[in-house]
Amino acid sequence: MLEAGDKPSFYMEIKPKSVKSTHLKNMIIKCLYFDKAMSCAELSELFDKSIPSIAKAVNELIEEGFVIEQGYAPSSGGRRPLMYAINASAMYILSIAMDQLSTRIQLVDLLNHPVADMEMFDLKLLHNEQALDLLVEKINEYLANSGIAKEKIAGIGLGMPGFINPIKGINYTYLDAGDKTLNQYLSDETGLPAYIDNDSSLIALAEQKFGIAKSQKEVMVINLGWGIGLGMIVNGEIFRGRNGFAGEFSHIPLSEDGALCTCGKRGCLEAEASMLVVSKRAIEGIQQGRVTSLKEIDEAHSKQMGDAIMDAALNGDQFAIELFSDAGYKIGKALAILIHIMNPQAIVLSGHGAKVGKILLAPIQQALHKYCIPRLSRGTELLISELGFDAELIGAAVLVMENFDKEVKSQVVAG
């Protein structure tokens, strides 16, 4: 374990006279991670650096094993430029995706491909003082079992629910790290740089960089999980609001006298249409004798019921479809409010619940027809994520790479 403030080896190798060149190389690595393949001319234009300086950095990265030649670009009438791409196995990222009930850990390469089996385990966040210790234990155990040296791991990206300030590295809702930031605590305990962010923001980031919202400027990404989150892409950037808490879509009030929400208010979207609510209503329906293929599961195992009801709905179970149709209509009512305020280019249904996205589409559209001004709703495309349940893990990897060049950049400024 590294002492507080220590850096992994790929930072320790930096010497004062080479900090600026190292920063340029890290920016190239970061760029190729997101854009897959580029020529020296394209990199030169992007970073406003001379082609010789870019070529020098690229050649050094090839020697160091971070970059590979990918052949020549298609002919456009002139000399075809040589294209360069990231070497997927040069470095790895530890991605962690948490929800209120469970946690997934996955080690991926620089193409976001798994290089070790994903581990998923139950970890209740609410009222659990042992949650952080158990998380650290699981991370270190996973790292040890992976057989990959920490020097080859760029960092840990962690997505989780709650009110999170990603710049400070603090989750004000879960995982209290005492007098340390959560970033620093995880880094101290694992020996790796660690970064945290809200799960819905990371899902939006994944959709923007590698998913169905790639390159779009105004997109609202709905995280359909045990709650109902929102990641907001405004003018091509993740929008967080003044304190980093923007996007509390799940607490849009749908009624005055609805179900009591965990936030203490009544009638919130989360209390009316979340996966936890759908699971609870499924359990109640089974107990009341509703005809369904679903088996009886007690409320302590809502997670299993959530997965089971999605599978049942996809297999044509009418009770399961009815539950999702009711939830979808309420989500659509809330989306009408969102469309009126944000006028987005697209809305993406993502997260775990994207698995039943096609079932949700019809009732969502029905609610939009009823509650949304047609001129606005017609201008917003409703899309279903292709990343789905993997979106948060991919977003956690993106979070690490978004921060990849910042450590060296701070040394450039300090120097």
Residues 364, 243, single domain; the answer is yes
Residues 133, 149, single domain; the answer is yes
Look at residues 66, 85, 68 and name the one whose alpha carbon lies nearest to residue 26: 66
What is the reported pLDDT for 242? Answer: 79
Residues 30, 148, single domain; the answer is no
Whether residue 125 is contained in a domain is answered as yes
Residues 231, 374, single domain; the answer is yes
Tens of pLDDT, residue by residue over 25-70, are 999 999 999 988 999 999 999 999 999 999 999 999 999 999 999 9
Lowest mean pLDDT among 117-121, 261-265, 271-275, 333-337: 261-265
Whether residue 299 is contained in a domain is answered as yes
What 45-54 contacts at long range (C-beta under 8 Å, 24+ apart), as own/partner pairs, is: 49/24, 53/24, 54/24, 54/28
Does 76 have pLDDT greater than 90?
no
Instruction: State the average pLDDT for the chain.
Output: 88
153-160: strand order across its sheet: 119-122, 102-108, 92-98, 153-160, 194-198
Residues 190, 117, single domain; the answer is yes
What CATH number is associated with residue 375? 3.30.420.40
Residues 227, 287, single domain; the answer is yes
Question: What percent of the chain is modeled with pLDDT above 70?
Answer: 90
Does 95 have pLDDT greater than 50?
yes
Q: How confident is the model at residue 253 (pLDDT cuts 50, 70, 90)?
A: confident
Residue 398 contacts residue 204 (beta carbons within 8 Å):
no
Q: How confident is the model at residue 303 (pLDDT cuts 50, 70, 90)?
A: low
Residue-range definition of the domain harbouring residue 27: 9-88
Residues 242, 363, single domain; the answer is yes
Q: How confident is the model at residue 415 (pLDDT cuts 50, 70, 90)?
A: very low
Whether residue 407 is contained in a domain is answered as no
Whether residue 412 is contained in a domain is answered as no
Residues 231, 352, single domain; the answer is yes
Among 88, 112, 129, give the residue marking a domain's end: 88
Structural domains counted in the chain? 3
Question: What percent of the chain is modeled with pLDDT above 90?
Answer: 71
Q: How confident is the model at residue 301 (pLDDT cuts 50, 70, 90)?
A: low
